Amino acid sequence: MARKRRAAKRPRGATKTPTAVKRSARAALSVATSGRRPVRKRVAAMAQAPLAVCESDKDLQAMLNVLRNEDEPVKVRLAALQSLGAAAFSVIAFESCRGDYLAALRKVATDPNPELPQRVLGLLMREKDGFAQRKLLEGLKNPDKALVPPEKALQLLSYDVHAEAYAAARAIVGKPPNPDARREALRLLAADATAAPLFEKLLRDKKELREIRQISASALHALKPDRLQQVAREIVLDKSDYDDIKATSLMALATFGDDKALANDTVLLNSVDRFGAGKAPSKYKQGARRFLRKYGR
Amino acid sequence: MDVELQINNSASPNARFVSWAPSPCRIRVTNPSGAPSPTVNLKITGVSAAGGGVVVFRSGATGVFSSSVTLPVPTNGTSVPFFAAGKFGKPSAGNGDVTIQARNGTTLVGSAPVMVRIRKNANALTTAERNRFVAAFAQLNNQGLGRFADFRNMHTNVSSPQAHGAPGFLPWHRAYLLDLERELQAIDPSIALPYWRFDRPAPNIFTPDFLGASDQLGTVGFAATNPLQFWKTDGVQGINRRPFFSTSAAPPGLRNETQTLGLGTQYPAFRTLEGNPHGTAHTSFGGSISSIGTAAKDPLFFLLHANVDRLWAKWQRQNGRFNPAQPASFDNSGGNPIGHNLPDTMWPWNGITGGQRPPTAPGGALAASPCVGAPGPQPKVQDSLDFQGAIGAPARMGFDYDDVKFA
Amino acid sequence: MRPVATANAQSEPQFAAMVDALAADLDRRDRLMDLLREDHPVYDQRGAAAIVRMRGWLLVALARAGVSDAALIFVLEELDTGVDAYLVAAAARALRSYPNPTENLAPFVMRALTQIRYRDEPVSFERYGDYAVSSAGTSPVRELLATLAWLGPRARGVLPELEALRAQGSGLAKKFRIDIDRALHAIRRADQVDEPATGSCCAPPAGLGDTVSRPLDSRGGVETIESLVFEDHRGDRIAFKEFFRGQPSIVVFFYTRCDNPMKCSLTVTKLARMQKLLEAQGLSDRIHTAAISYDPAFDLPERLRVYGQDRGVVMNAHHRLLRATGGMDALCAHFGLGVNFIESLVNRHRIEAYILDAEGRIAVSFERIHWDEQQVVSRAIEVLEERGSCGGTRAQGAD
């Protein structure tokens, strides 16, 4: 029978009681919410305070007031937001705070400082909040009302497949305001069952950026896996296609393909052999060699 | 003469994994031909490959470990027990990089390649360790169609009260990580879940070859050879993660390890780490990991929580807090919600749904291990505490951290 | 595959104005209930958030106009499986306008409270489409507690749960202490006890059922869908008539992208439990089970298989997860499915389960409120026995 182990030497200062820890957190909160303290000290204190807001409504309101107050330094407001977000993870303790917190997030979603709307709209969209969705969709439809750039709006809308964003995403793919927006629109459309032909076309297009072709490969696998296997094979066999997309295609075949069929596909294996022996960057050649080893070469 | 070495009291090669906590082993003669007497003295040692793990031994359940042990073993096939453990500070780099050998004099009569499998700092993994980990993780995800979907579904807004904001936070996440780790080990047994040491710079983690590099939008990009490029959750491709700090440094504002371990020697004080550093680590980013309902969509979540668990493990070791019967080890003062009391079984592994529990229980029972029996398929909160078997050897869960000793 | 459709012609403000007008007109109020059907064209091509706003406003209108017996099931449905704060709050408020409260209503309210308490948020019913930006005002928890107070002694069946909540002392119990105390006081009042505690805790009041039975001679034919071809979780194709003729079947509808864990995930999990009940009674080969996807374009075979597997569903020749390879409109029409779409994606659906007889005709349907597995299996056995169906099946192949 195992004996009890002697406790190892305790670090210095490790004598705090729960009460002392709470007192310390409340003190930090007091510094954090005091407009008279330097910004640097307030930001540092915010990080020490997260769970203190759960203990007292007065402290919670003080923190929320900092978040909402446009006259507060933005660094302090962002630190308040982070601290509240950290506390929100303690769901049971945060139970009585959540309503006020969400209301404050909605208020701050239209803040003039651009970083705040971006962060709070992200937090709200991850809660599938209808308010945030409506604001983001309005902004895509009418750029004058946009609270965040279109690529960010699309990225945030992708947290909820039920957000009615596909039409807006298609419009942006057709007429992208910038490359990031096009990419995020495609990423969002990867959940659209009707978009498989679009992704096959993009995957085959050698003029497309690698990132777009990579997104397309993944999307096509989700929507029409047998088509991806076929196209990926064609890419590997195509001497004129790029090494990086060949590497992605090999990855797709090895990870999701029919192992038996691949092991018997002599034409493919010979092509991979040549790729592995050729002039591609070494990490791609290593990938080729791993592929060949997996299928018995 | 031939002998059989059983690691973790199992003849299966799948059980040949040890950590810092001692593994019960057995040796027996399977072929006595050439044996000079009814009992032979067999010397058991570990032979390490270059850079491999190191194993130490002792003959009984207590006592000092040493680099070898000599045991009198009957030639009639009776098993003789002994204990093996990884030598602290010398984990394996790959499966089977240390071999336990048994010799009769100078003659090798039996051997078993083993691995000292330890949870390591993710920032310090070798390329091979990193690649094996991401390959296994990507396979577990299988573009949203793999077993990972269950792990994602265990950590949602609906289920979050089972594991957050009350004393069960640490035990629940320990079981959660262990369940995931065992599923990864079913794919590649050399895997141990690495941890993100978030109070120190970890630039090697946030790279295209590992957990991805974020652009200014927070879209995570992967190298063409990284299988995580196909990561998918909730039917949506990719990972959104926007660091609010430079990933060549540590996130600001986090309690460091010393401060965390200094929160207090009693569990109620210590578990305030849930706010900082745990919550603060989560919210050092924008993106999935910064909200409780979506955090588990990001593979980084599991490395973050491995570090939280490591901190708990270290605190337990420093303060001797393995025994559920000891009040300072937990907060069982009463009034805790269901799932947060020592004798409570933990959802989802208990399969209980409805009422105070979520409507479904994804994933089924907690994955078994060929190496250990604990914590069992439906663990209770109390089963998560004695992870090293410090109080009772059967409680050992089969994992250890690179910087948390056994004794 | 559904074509990309144009946006719904009626704007949300127009919808709200229509609802307000109907609620104010005594002669047209019953049309409000018609608008609560998920498949109503007014919801076609709307996003899920828009539907929440619309349905919530309908419930608020019902709260003003009075909830009829026929509309009660929609209110209870929201309390039973709703996860959206606005809808749950509106349903709780609407329930207080029902003229015939009984003790059966209390478990719905208490269950909703348990489900929403950690996701409480402020809501506003002042104007259509309002989102609260301050916490002064109401919330689902506040509305649910008010409804428990309204039920008074009829809620005594849930008194222990409410007392336990009050005893917690922190969190919600602290924030809503006054509301909880008001509810407790109302429930404990002895002078309003007017009926003994009876009946099922979890079913709607008698006569306001979620279960519809169709006698043999009134069951509709299957001509419109008998040739409809499904693809199952293995990629095998099978026609409706091949799988569903020859023995009774239990059929549920779902889709893998449903984000309400109280709906599809639970439905399919319960299907697995029903399979176990059938197995225990030696009826696995005599009663088929099927889960059919609302989202056939996305729910390809591997996705179906993994979803079922993750929920413990047995999948073989007699028990399948299916997606329609065409004719989804005909399928919806035949079953009268409570579902609507934005493009090919489901935007809202109800819980629905069906028992088909040996001819594939709908014999029993369970709608809106979560059904009890044993009850469904018992009804399926009744259908099996109604014509002494033989044990043979015409399923194609075996796993």
What average pLDDT does the segment C229-250 reach?
Answer: 97
Residues B108 and B186 in one domain: no
Between CA B84 and CA B162 the distance in angstroms is 37
A152 and A210 in a single domain? The answer is no
Q: How far is CA C389 from the centre of its chain?
A: 31
CA distances from A3 to B57, B59, B110, B277, B391 (A): 18, 16, 31, 33, 7
Regarding whether A292 and A203 lie in a shared domain, the answer is: yes
Nearest-angstrom CA–CA distance, C131 and C111 = 25
C contact test, residue of A22, A64, A162 with most C CBs within 10 A: A162
A58 inside domain: yes
* Element containing residue A23 per DSSP (H, E): helix A18-32
Q: Are residues A199 and A273 in the same domain?
A: yes
Is A7 inside any structural domain? no
Does residue B401 lie in a domain region? no
Per residue in B280-291, pLDDT tens? 999 999 999 999
B405 pLDDT higher than 50? yes
Whether pLDDT at B177 is above 90: yes
More confident residue, B239 or A211: B239
- In this structure, what CATH number is given to the domain that contains residue B291? 1.10.1280.10
**Interface test mutation site (partner C, options A65, A164, A255, A258, max chain C beta carbons within 10 A):** A164
Tell whether A127 and A161 lie within a shared domain.
yes
B85: DSSP letter: E
Tens of pLDDT along A33-77?
Answer: 998 999 999 999 998 878 888 888 899 999 999 999 999 999 999
Assess whether A250 and A273 both reside in one domain.
yes
Q: Residue A83 pLDDT > 50, yes or no?
A: yes
Is C295:C256 a contact under the CB 8 Å cutoff? Answer: yes
- B77's tokens: 């096939």
Ranking A28-42, B100-114, B178-192, B207-221 by mean pLDDT, the lowest is A28-42
**Based on the domain organization, do A171 and A238 belong to the same domain?**
no
Rounded to the nearest angstrom, the gap between the alpha carbon of residue B290 and the centroid of all alpha carbons in its chain is 23
Select from A80, A108, A136 the last residue of a domain.
Answer: A108
Compute the distance between CA of residue B259 and CA of residue B263 in angstroms, rounded to an integer.
6
**pLDDT of C334 strictly over 70:** yes
Q: What is the pLDDT of residues C100-125, one digit of tens each?
A: 999 999 999 999 999 999 999 999 99
Q: Tell me, yes or no, whether A82 lies in a domain.
A: yes
Euclidean distance between CA atoms B382 and B321, whole angstroms: 12
Q: Which of A52, A78, A108 is the last residue of a domain?
A: A108
Provide the 10 A C-beta neighbour count for residue C192. Answer: 11
Mean pLDDT of C193-200: 52
Burial A123-150 (b: 16+ CB within 10 A, else e): bbbbbbbbbbbbbbbebbeeeeebbbbb
Query: Which pTM value belongs to this model?
Result: 0.93
Q: Give chain B's domain count.
A: 2
Last residue of a domain, one of A173, A189, A205: A189
Q: What number is the average pLDDT over the span B90-98? A: 97
CB pair distance less than 8 Å for C1 and A102? no
Looking up tokens 């969002």 gives A188
Q: How many domains does chain A have?
A: 3
For residues B101 and B133, membership in a common domain is answered with no
Amino acid letter, residue C39: D
Of residues C69 and C2, which shows the higher confidence score?
C69
Domain shared by B73 and B126, yes or no: no
| Averaged pLDDT of chain C | 90
Q: Are residues A198 and A297 located together in one domain of the fold? A: yes
In a domain, B405, yes or no: no
A247 neighbors B224 (Cβ within 8 angstroms) = yes
Indicate whether B67 and B152 sit together in one domain: no
Same domain as A178, residue A118: yes
For residues B397 and B375, the answer to whether their CB atoms sit within 8 Å is yes
Distance CA B152, CA B149 (A): 5
Residue B93 in any domain: the answer is: yes
In a domain, A18, yes or no: no
Domain assignment present for residue A9? The answer is: no
CB contacts under 8 A, C 246-265 vs B, are: 256-257, 259, 261-262, 265
A20 inside domain: no
Q: How far apart are CA B220 and CA B241, in angstroms?
A: 6
Looking at residue C190, what is its pLDDT? 66
Check whether residue B85 and residue B166 sit in a common domain. Answer: no
- How many pairs of residues across A and C have Cβ atoms under 8 Å apart? 104
pLDDT score recorded for residue C206: 67
In this structure, the answer to whether residues B276 and B192 fall within a common structural domain is: yes
SS3 B240: strand
**Helix or strand or coil: residue A146?**
coil
Could you tell me how far CA C56 lies from the centroid of its own chain?
16
**Which residues in chain A have Cβ-Cβ distances shorter than 8 Å to B332?**
none
Within A35-165, residue ranges assigned H as helices are: 39-48, 57-68, 74-88, 98-108, 115-126, 130-141, 150-157
The residue of C88, C123, C135 whose CB has the most chain A CBs within 10 angstroms, and thus the best one to mutate to test that interface, is: C135
Chains near C with 3+ CB pairs less than 8 A apart are: A, B
Domain limits for position B41: 2-116
Residues 138-197 of chain B with CB under 8 A from chain C are: 145-146, 149-150, 153, 156-158, 160-161
Which phi and psi (to 5°) does residue C250 adopt?
A: -105, 125
Residue C220's pLDDT is: 87
For residue range C121-164, list pLDDT tens digits in order. 999 999 999 999 998 889 999 999 999 999 999 999 999 999 99
Domain membership flag for residue B221 = yes
Chain C nearest CA to A6, separation (Å): 37
B382 with B284, same domain?
A: yes
ipTM over 0.90: yes
A121 and A184 belong to one structural domain? yes
Q: Are residues B176 and B266 in the same domain?
A: yes
User: C160 CB contacts (<8 Å, ≥6 apart)?
Assistant: none
Cis peptide before A38 (omega within 30 of 0): no
Quick: pLDDT tens for C341-379.
Answer: 998 899 999 999 999 999 999 999 999 999 999 999 999
Chains with 3 or more CB pairs under 8 A to chain B = A, C
Query: Rounded to whole angstroms, how far apart are CA atoms A197 and A206?
Result: 16
B187, B214, B291, B321: which to substitute to probe chain A, counting the most A Cβ within 10 Å? B291
- Give every CB contact of residue C49 below 8 A, 6+ residues apart in sequence: A128, A130, A133, A134, A160, A162, A163, A164
Confidence grade of residue C389 (pLDDT, cut at 50, 70, 90):
very low
pLDDT at A211: 86
* A193 touching B (Cβ < 8 Å): no
Per-residue pLDDT of A8-38, as tens digits, reads 444 444 456 777 777 888 888 889 999 899 9
B400 within some domain: no
Residue A287 is predicted with a pLDDT of: 86
Q: What is the maximum span of chain C, computed from C-alpha positions, in angstroms? A: 66
pLDDT digits (tens, 9 = 90+) for C287-331: 999 999 999 999 999 999 999 999 999 999 999 999 999 999 999
For the record, the structure tokens of B233 come out as 């959750």
**DSSP type of residue A9:** P
- Tell me, yes or no, whether A4 lies in a domain: no
SS3 state of residue A186: helix
| Domain assignment of residue A220, yes or no | yes
Tokens matching residue C184: 């407790």
3-state secondary structure of A131: helix
Is the pLDDT at A7 greater than 90? The verdict is no
Residues B357, B316 within the same domain:
yes
Do the chains contact at B275 and A95, CB–CB below 8 Å?
A: no
pLDDT, average across residues B135-145: 92
CATH number at residue B59: 2.60.40
Q: Are residues A206 and A289 in the same domain?
A: yes
| Residue in B248, B239, B329, B331 with CA at minimum distance from that of residue B289 | B239
Q: Which of B90, B116, B142 is the last residue of a domain?
A: B116
The whole-number pLDDT of residue C225 equals 94
> Is residue B255 domain-resident?
yes
Contacts of C139 in chain A (CB under 8 A): 99
> Same domain for B90 and B127?
no
Domain that holds residue A77: 28-108
pLDDT, residue C195, reads 54
Domain limit, last residue, from B70, B97, B116: B116
With respect to residue B406, please indicate whether it lies within any of the assigned structural domains. Answer: no
**Mean pLDDT score of chain B:** 96
Nearest CB to A193; choose among C120, C132, C344: C344
Q: Is B353 helix (H, G, I), strand (E, B) or coil?
A: coil
Residues A180 and A203 placed together within one structural domain of the fold: no
Helix/strand/coil for A235: helix
Give the pLDDT mean for C182-192.
Answer: 85
Residues B48 and B78 grouped into a single domain: yes
The contacts found for A207-214 with CB under 8 angstroms, 24 or more apart, are: A209/A179, A210/A242, A210/A244, A210/A245, A210/A248, A210/B224, A211/A183, A211/B221, A212/A182, A212/A183, A212/A186, A213/A245, A213/A248, A214/A245, A214/A248, A214/B224, A214/B229
Report how far residue A21's alpha carbon sits from residue A34's, in angstroms, rounded to the nearest whole number. Answer: 20
Instruction: Output the pLDDT for position C170.
Output: 79
A130/C4 CB distance under 8 A:
no
One domain for residues A177 and A199: no
The residue count of chain B comes to 407
Chain-chain contact of A127 with B269 (C-beta, under 8 angstroms)? no
**CB-based contact B158 C257, cutoff 8 Å:** no
Looking at the complex, does the CB of residue A68 fall below 8 Å from at least one CB of chain C?
no
Is the CB of residue C397 less than 8 Å away from at least one CB of chain B? no
From B67, B83, B116, give the residue that closes a domain. B116
According to the model, what pLDDT value does residue C87 have?
98
CB contact (8 A) between residue C118 and residue B359: no
Within-domain flag for B403: no
* Contacts made by residues B6-15, CB under 8 angstroms, sequence distance 24+: B6/B79, B7/B84, B7/B100, B7/B112, B7/B114, B7/B371, B8/B370, B8/B371, B8/B372, B10/B370, B10/B371, B12/B370, B13/B112, B14/B189, B14/B370, B15/B370, B15/B371
Amino acid at A14: A
- Asked if residues C283 and C376 have their Cβ atoms less than 8 Å apart, the reply is no
Q: Are residues B54 and B130 in the same domain?
A: no
Q: What pLDDT score was predicted for residue C387?
A: 65
Q: What is the mean pLDDT of residues A131-145?
A: 96
